Amino acid sequence: MAFVQIMSFEMDEAEAVRLLNKYAEEGRGETFARRAVIGRDRSQEGRLVQVVFFDSAQEAEANNELAVTQRSGAEFNELASEVKFVDVDVVADITI
């Protein structure tokens, strides 16, 4: 079953994009993450939302153990504030 991790946090927008691009480059061929998007929370100024897509919750858990994820997470935690996570099992994925 597909799995999505949603993170809501406060951080400079350009910095969040830089960190995600850095992770994508460093983790290429190693990470289990398939896709990620970053957006602005329109209801809470200054807050960003990052959505990361995985093939399964098990792959997301394995991804958390990777050295590249640990390094990236440490750097992210230094720059982000008020981080909230939502872990989602995908029950339908419909292209419209």
Name the residue ranges covered by the structural domains of the chain: 3-89
Name the class of domain 3-89. alpha beta
Give the predicted TM-score (pTM) of the model. Answer: 0.92
Tokens coding 76: 């992210």
Q: List the alpha helices (DSSP H) in the chain.
A: 13-27, 57-65, 67-79
29-42 confidence digits (pLDDT tens):
999 999 999 999 99
Residue-level pLDDT at 55: 97
